[in-house]
Chains A and B, each alone.
Chain A
Amino acid sequence: MIGQTIAAALGTVAFSVLFGVPRKYYGYCGLVGGAGWCLYSILTVYTACTAVEATFFAAFLVVLLSRFLAVWEKCPATVFLTAGVFPLVPGTGIYWTAYYLVTDRPAEAADNGFAAVKAAFAIVLGIVLVFEVPDSFFKMKNK
């Protein structure tokens, strides 16, 4: 799990390079991505959380960290958020959906596709909820 968390952090940094994030924020991006994945794997392995619930909590954490860093560094939260949620994006689900579709197994394809959509909605919910919190909350905590 430690290896995977490091991979998540490194992968997040790689994508923040692709999105043109300023160099000084690479470390923060890695931290956000790693933390999100770490929470996700802890929840799925050690608790009764389903993958979708774990995705929601992990996305929640990712957005929360992004907003803290945004206030702290006085820059848009998008910078940390965009690459940070990447480990949670259901790439696996998309792949298996396509795979089962072309191998003529519609039931499995539907299951995987539905799971991918649910995971995507979990991320959406995480992002929307945390952005409802007013900026002042994050400022207070910093003082």
Chain B
Amino acid sequence: MAYLAQLGALADELVASLAAAALDTAEGRKRQAADRESALRGIRFHSFLGTNQFDVEDQLKGFDERFRVIGRESLADALSERLAALDPHRNKWTPDVLRFILELADQPAQKSDLRN
């Protein structure tokens, strides 16, 4: 029960951060409640498998190679530098967090800008 309450609180924060509807209207409140329900359903009932940390490492290596092949060495260096810096902070959740980040990667070879 405590777990669900904590998950619910985090889902509230996530909805507020990503889909913040105007809460001063009845429509906005209804929308936010629906978003929260849908988010909780999405994270509780799914058919995804657990994270394979070797797949995650392969995918990160793949990005490094792709960046270098297209001449974006600075991006590849920045990525490997950050991954090395992450090493002392690694825990059992790190592969899952990296998996999450990889899922949201949006054509970094073409679109990433280091000035950001």
A binds B: no
Q: Which residues of A contact B (CB under 8 A)?
A: none
